[in-house]
Amino acid sequence: MPQLHVRLHHVAATLAVLASLTLATGCHKKTVAPPPGSMGPTIETTGPAPTATLTAEPLAIELGQSVALNWRTTNATSVTIDGLGPVVPNGTQMVAPANSTNFHLVAKNDNGTTEANVRVTVRVAAPPAPMGDNSGATGNAAADAIFHQNVQDAFFDYDSYELRPDAQTAAAAAAAYLNQHPEIRVLVAGYSDERGSAEYNLALGENRANAARTALISAGVTANRIRIVSYGKEKQFCTESSESCWQQNRRAQFSIDR
């Protein structure tokens, strides 16, 4: 009987231990899975890049006149215009450029940069006809005739201001004559045919005049003796709508600058 009592006591102790272990396991808190958004790298979202427009009214002016620059931007944290510096995101400002100018706007934010441009053409008026008696006018006419015998106009291809071989020859001959007569100052006028907008052709005429001016300077004529002006399609040498007529209008014309 004593041995049976010992065994029963041992079994009871074992059952007590197992019960305590079961209770401990059942009361243990379950691990909660982290929310899906807390795992992995964070994907940053970016906002829109800025937008910008820049206009001018009018696009072509005479020297000394003013033009209204008008700009509009969105989402920009900084806005600058070459020649004006930092400006407000939206505004209008009057400017009076001394020569043809390409106005350049840059709008920025943390998400990008946007640019806008507008070109304003400044026309330089031809000097007025000299006043004086008829003998002076006759003398000027004779001088002009001699000048044009030795200095021929340079002609260009359609929509181009690159000097063709015949235009290069004309510019070289003009430079040779001008180098022999250092007292003569020359006006180079750029023209275009009737096709295209007035603003575009004013810019094209200016580029043609500048191309001829550059050729003269490269051939030894000092830069301060040369002045340029653009007439675009305003003054046509020929008014027929034909290629032969348009070719006459695509030129850089040399004349004495008085």
pLDDT at 109: 95
Based on the domain organization, do 176 and 71 belong to the same domain? no
Based on the domain organization, do 196 and 216 belong to the same domain? yes
21 confidence band (pLDDT: 50, 70, 90): low
pLDDT digits (tens, 9 = 90+) for 107-137: 999 999 999 999 988 887 555 555 555 555 6
46 confidence band (pLDDT: 50, 70, 90): confident
Based on the domain organization, do 72 and 177 belong to the same domain? no
- Asked if residue 1 is part of any domain, the answer here is no
- Cα distance between residue 231 and residue 176, in whole Å: 26
- Asked if residue 43 is part of any domain, the answer here is no
Based on the domain organization, do 113 and 143 belong to the same domain? no
Q: What percent of the chain has pLDDT over 90?
A: 45
pLDDT at 220: 92
Based on the domain organization, do 100 and 162 belong to the same domain? no
**Which of the residue ranges 37-51, 62-76, 162-176, 187-201 would you say has the lowest mean pLDDT?**
37-51
Quote the radius of gyration of the chain (alpha carbons, Å): 41
Torsion of CA 159, 162, 168, 171, to 10 degrees: 80
Residue 38 has pLDDT above 70, yes or no: no
- Cα distance between residue 188 and residue 209, in whole Å: 6
Residue 102 has pLDDT above 70, yes or no: yes
- Cα distance between residue 57 and residue 66, in whole Å: 9
122 burial class (0-12, 13-18, 19+ CB within 10 angstroms)? buried
164 versus 123: the higher-pLDDT residue is 164
4 confidence band (pLDDT: 50, 70, 90): very low
Task: Pick the most confident of 55-69, 132-146, 219-233.
Answer: 219-233
List the domain range (segments joined by +) for residue 207: 134-256
Based on the domain organization, do 80 and 119 belong to the same domain? yes
- Asked if residue 41 is part of any domain, the answer here is no
Residue 173 has pLDDT above 80, yes or no: yes
Average pLDDT, the chain: 82
Based on the domain organization, do 74 and 97 belong to the same domain? yes
Based on the domain organization, do 225 and 249 belong to the same domain? yes
Provide mean pLDDT across the span 185-205: 92
170 versus 126: the higher-pLDDT residue is 170
Show Cβ contacts of residue 117 under 8 Å, excluding neighbours closer than 6 positions: 54, 102, 103, 104, 105
- Asked if residue 212 is part of any domain, the answer here is yes
Q: What percent of the chain has pLDDT over 70?
A: 77
- Asked if residue 114 is part of any domain, the answer here is yes
Based on the domain organization, do 154 and 234 belong to the same domain? yes
- Asked if residue 203 is part of any domain, the answer here is yes
Based on the domain organization, do 155 and 247 belong to the same domain? yes
Question: How many separate domains does the chain show?
Answer: 2
234 confidence band (pLDDT: 50, 70, 90): confident
- Asked if residue 31 is part of any domain, the answer here is no
pLDDT digits (tens, 9 = 90+) for 47-63: 899 999 999 988 888 87
pTM: 0.48
Q: Among 94, 123, 152, which residue terminates a domain?
A: 123
Based on the domain organization, do 157 and 240 belong to the same domain? yes
Q: Among 123, 154, 187, which residue terminates a domain?
A: 123
- Asked if residue 46 is part of any domain, the answer here is no
Residue with tokens 């931007």: 73
Q: Among 123, 147, 170, which residue terminates a domain?
A: 123
Based on the domain organization, do 88 and 187 belong to the same domain? no
200 versus 131: the higher-pLDDT residue is 200
CATH no. for residue 215?
Answer: 3.30.1330.60
Question: DSSP code of 160?
Answer: -
